[in-house]
Structure 1
């Protein structure tokens, strides 16, 4: 899904808010009814959850922010941290009067952190939040090499570094030569660049955001106990084929969050909530949207 695809429906509107540090945050809205904010994950933009937004738009006003560094939103700034994510979300909530929030992966952790401090959040649904509880040094140790490769203009190599570091690919990736993986990723990037339209969010344009996702994951690693403070109703979602290293977080959150419900979708993977496309052929946003509808309506 790309930012170019956002205007595909005439019902979608775009507005802006200013976060506490002066950064402009863009968000797109569709539908009628109580407000829901859908916050995208890594290597995604606001346009990555359009299908889910459209599936909910008959009963809710759905708001799709572009997180910092993407789309029409402003840059990260020099002191990026989870606090910036919370402040950005707070600005959107105040502008829209929404009380329900969905986050996935990295944004799922940010949403849970926001639920600790923002009384405006009444209900939170998160899909496989990227809360690292095991093997943290390895799962965050890729950032230094990633930064060096990006600084040298080796974007394909940097993407491979992040994928291997976060164990995002199939097991075969762990035995394939890194050079071959980099060559294959470069071919995919060239093909995508060739067919991209102005404003499209490609792997190349989104690659720099991975540094900041790494910063977020590192900051929030091993912070399970703090989420005992969450007073909002929480829906924990995941797929049976999701990322194995995130399942401990779901189990831990299920035990420590006071008002919690957990659902695992048979056969779905980590990217199930996103729109179906070349990068996400196994997406099932309709299935995830059905649970959000139930949870946010109750």
Structure 2
């Protein structure tokens, strides 16, 4: 199975790295906040027999470059557009969490290169003011060189019921190296317009995925998108959280829809 690491320059000059494997119609995966690439590589392996799967490293994460700050989704949308421009034909796009918001911003700008869209709980219900104070506290933690505390602050703000700090500490320690990307994502989210009615112009067929064990903001966000996107249907994946642990369940839903 062919596997490649490639890079493209976005509109503002930021270098965006993506990894591709498999052959067939292009399927671009846009990751969520904080999530390491391991999950998406598992997903890519399951999809690669039928698709050429491209896993994007979003700006501020991994090997991709950092852009101007404060960060905005319009820049990340341009990153996705730059990746799509490298393809010979229309692509399928799967966006997870914040990656789904990137995809939606990109398609609102130009949907001509996308033949199908799948989204796993893009957190539209958190757009605008809800996490403004959380971002301020996280910036304080980062300024004091406490990235793990920044991660804990984030999960404390969005997970219900709030887990005890002792339960979050190992996860936060493991994700501390990605905290700067989280700050950028929160800058994008807090600056985003909470009114998503303009997205009703996106008429690409869309699959909305929700986890059966997800947090309330995930369910609320999918409901908002179902009411907004003109050609969308929702599937709930039993046993999955906002960060799904079973790549096979997600891959099966994508294969069925994109087929």
Q: Same fold (TM over 0.5)?
A: yes
Structure 1 stretches of 4+ with a deviation exceeding 3 A read 45-48, 136-140, 183-190
Distance (Å, rounded) in 1 between the aligned partners of 2:171 and 2:122: 27
After superposition, residues 111-190 of structure 1 pair within 5 angstroms as 111-118=103-110, 119-132=112-125, 137-167=129-159, 171=161, 173=163, 176=164, 181=165
**Shift of residue 204 of structure 1?**
2.1
**Shift of residue 245 of structure 1?**
1.5
1:122-174 CA-partner distances (Å, limit 9, x unpaired): 2110001111269x64433200011011101122222211111222xx6252x
**Is contact 1:106-1:216 (8 Å) kept?**
no
The number of residue pairs the alignment matches comes to: 257
> Structure 2 length normalisation: TM-score?
0.91
Which of 49, 53, 58 is the equivalent residue of 1:67? 58
Look up the match of 1:247.
219
Look up the match of 2:257.
295
**Is contact 2:95-2:101 (8 Å) kept?**
yes
Distance (Å, rounded) in 2 between the aligned partners of 1:268 and 1:186: 22
Distance (Å, rounded) in 1 between the aligned partners of 2:216 and 2:208: 15
Distance change in 2, residues 1:22/1:293 (3 Å) = same
Q: Could you list the runs of 5+ residues in structure 2 that have no partner in the other structure?
A: none
Look up the match of 1:256.
228
Matched, 1:94 2:73: no
Which of 166, 172, 195 is the equivalent residue of 1:223? 195
Alignment RMSD (CA, Å): 2.0
Distance (Å, rounded) in 2 between the aligned partners of 1:236 and 1:85: 21
- Flag the structure with larger Rg: 1
1:179-223 CA-partner distances (Å, limit 9, x unpaired): xx2x66556666xxxxxxxxxxx5121011111111122123522
1:236-294 CA-partner distances (Å, limit 9, x unpaired): 0001111212222211211221111111112211111xxxxxxxxxx111011111111
Look up the match of 2:19.
28
Matched, 1:83 2:55: no
1:22-68 CA-partner distances (Å, limit 9, x unpaired): 11111100001000001110112444301111111111000011001
Look up the match of 1:6.
none
**Is contact 2:156-2:162 (8 Å) kept?**
no
Distance (Å, rounded) in 2 between the aligned partners of 1:234 and 1:184: 35
Distance change in 2, residues 1:239/1:142 (3 Å) = same
**Is contact 1:40-1:48 (8 Å) kept?**
no
Which of 181, 186, 194 is the equivalent residue of 1:209? 181
Structure 2 counterpart SS, 1:96: coil
Q: Could you list the runs of 5+ residues in structure 1 that have no partner in the other structure?
A: 1-9, 191-201, 273-282
